[in-house]
Amino acid sequence: MAALVVPALLLVLLMMVAPMALLFRYSLNIYSATDLMIEAVTLQNYVAAVADPYYREVLATTLRTAFLATVIALAAGFPAAYVLARMQGRWKSILTLITVFPLMVGNVVRAAGWMALLGNTGVVNTALKAVGIGSVQLMYTPGAVVAGIVTVVLPYMILTLAAVIEGIPRNVEEAALNMGAGPLTMFRRVILPLSLPGVIAGSALVFILCMNAYATPVLLGGSRFKMMAPAVYDQFVRTTNWPFGAALAFILLLVTLGLTMAGSALLQRRYAR
Amino acid sequence: MAKARTFLWRGGVGAVFTVVLLPMLAVMYLSFFDQEVVSFPPDGYTLRWYVNAWEQREFSRGFVNSLQLAVVATVIGVTLGTAAAYALVRARLPARGFVNTLLMGPLAVPGVVLGTALYVMFVQIDDAIDFQIVATLPGLIAAHVLLTVPWTVRLVAASLAGLHPAAEEAAADLGARPWTVFRRVTLPMMRSGVVAGALFSFIQSFENLELTLLLVGPGRSTLPVAMLNYLEFRVDPTLAAVATVQIVMIGALMLITDRFVNLSRVVS
Q: Is the pLDDT of residue A168 over 50?
A: yes
Taking only the tens place, the pLDDT of each residue in B93-111 is 888 889 988 999 888 888 8
CA–CA separation, A204 vs A198, rounded Å? 10
Taking only the tens place, the pLDDT of each residue in B1-20 is 567 777 878 888 899 999 99
Look at chain B and report how many structural domains it folds into: 1
Please report whether residue B75 resides in a domain.
yes
> Which range (A40-49, A263-272, B125-134, B147-156) has the least confidence?
A263-272
Please report whether residue B229 resides in a domain.
yes
The ipTM of this complex is 0.87
Instruction: Record the pTM.
Output: 0.89
pLDDT score, position A60 = 95
Angstroms from B140 CA to nearest CA on chain A: 11
Please report whether residue B91 resides in a domain.
yes
Q: Among candidates A80, A110, A117, A76, which has minimal Cα distance to A96?
A: A80
Please report whether residue B4 resides in a domain.
no
Question: Does residue B20 belong to the interface with chain A, where contact is any CB pair within 8 Å?
Answer: yes
End-to-end CA distance of chain A: 46
pLDDT score, position A23 = 94
Please report whether residue B173 resides in a domain.
yes
Question: Does residue B249 belong to the interface with chain A, where contact is any CB pair within 8 Å?
Answer: no
Q: Is the pLDDT of residue A273 over 70?
A: no
Section A143-162 average pLDDT: 92
Angstroms from B21 CA to nearest CA on chain A: 7
* Chain A, nearest residue to B78 by Cα: A8
pLDDT score, position A64 = 95
Question: Does residue B259 belong to the interface with chain A, where contact is any CB pair within 8 Å?
Answer: no
pLDDT score, position B266 = 59
Question: Does residue B214 belong to the interface with chain A, where contact is any CB pair within 8 Å?
Answer: yes
Q: Is the pLDDT of residue B268 over 50?
A: no
Q: Cβ contacts (< 8 Å) between B240 and chain A: which residues? A: 112, 116
pLDDT score, position A40 = 84
CA–CA separation, B237 vs B231, rounded Å? 12
Q: Cβ contacts (< 8 Å) between B14 and chain A: which residues? A: none
Phi-psi region of A180 (alpha: psi -120 to 50; beta: other; left: phi over 0): left
Angstroms from B144 CA to nearest CA on chain A: 10
Question: Does residue B102 belong to the interface with chain A, where contact is any CB pair within 8 Å?
Answer: yes
Which of B23, B146, B209 is facing A12, going by the closest CB pair?
B146
Taking only the tens place, the pLDDT of each residue in A95-117 is 888 888 888 888 899 999 999 88
Angstroms from B13 CA to nearest CA on chain A: 5
Please report whether residue B206 resides in a domain.
yes
For chains A and B, count residue pairs whose Cβ atoms are closer than 8 Å: 273
Place B219 in a pLDDT band, splitting at 50, 70 and 90: confident
CA–CA separation, B79 vs B91, rounded Å? 17
Angstroms from B150 CA to nearest CA on chain A: 9
Taking only the tens place, the pLDDT of each residue in A4-21 is 899 999 999 999 999 999
Q: Is the pLDDT of residue A61 over 70?
A: yes
Contact between A23 and B120 using a beta-carbon 8 Å cutoff: yes
The DSSP-derived string for A145-183 is HHHHHHHHHHHHHHHHHHHHHTTS-HHHHHHHHHTT--H
Section A64-77 average pLDDT: 96
Taking only the tens place, the pLDDT of each residue in A115-139 is 988 887 777 887 788 787 777 788 8
Contact between B116 and A114 using a beta-carbon 8 Å cutoff: no
Section B32-42 average pLDDT: 76
Q: Cβ contacts (< 8 Å) between A160 and chain B: which residues? A: 268
Window 209-228 of A: residues touching B by CB (8 A cutoff) are 211-212, 214-215, 218-219
For residues A176 and B2, which has the higher predicted lDDT (pLDDT)? A176
Question: Does residue B134 belong to the interface with chain A, where contact is any CB pair within 8 Å?
Answer: no
Contact between B254 and A93 using a beta-carbon 8 Å cutoff: no
Please report whether residue B5 resides in a domain.
no
Pinpoint the alpha helices (H) of B96-236: 96-108, 111-129, 137-161, 166-173, 178-181, 187-189, 191-207, 210-213, 223-231
CATH number at residue B72: 1.10.3720.10
Q: Is the pLDDT of residue B267 over 60?
A: no
Taking only the tens place, the pLDDT of each residue in B96-154 is 889 988 999 888 888 899 999 999 999 888 888 877 888 888 889 999 999 999 989 98
Q: Is the pLDDT of residue A25 over 90?
A: yes
Domain ranges of chain A: 64-225
Fold of A64-225: MetI-like fold (1.10.3720)
Average pLDDT, chain A: 89
Window 139-178 of B: residues touching A by CB (8 A cutoff) are 142-143, 145-146, 149, 153
Q: Tell me, what amino acid is at B200?
A: F
Angstroms from A269 CA to nearest CA on chain B: 24
Q: Identify the domain containing residue B105 by its residue range.
A: 26-34+42-267
CA–CA separation, A117 vs B22, rounded Å? 9
CB atoms within 10 A of CB A224: 6
Q: Do residues B89 and B161 lie in contact, with contact meaning Cβ atoms separated by under 8 Å?
A: yes
Q: How far is CA A69 from CA A31, A101, A202, B63, in A?
A: 36, 20, 12, 32
Average pLDDT, chain B: 86
Please report whether residue B8 resides in a domain.
no
Q: Cβ contacts (< 8 Å) between A99 and chain B: which residues? A: 17, 20, 264
Which range of A56-65, A178-187, A199-208, B253-262 scores highest in mean pLDDT? It is A56-65
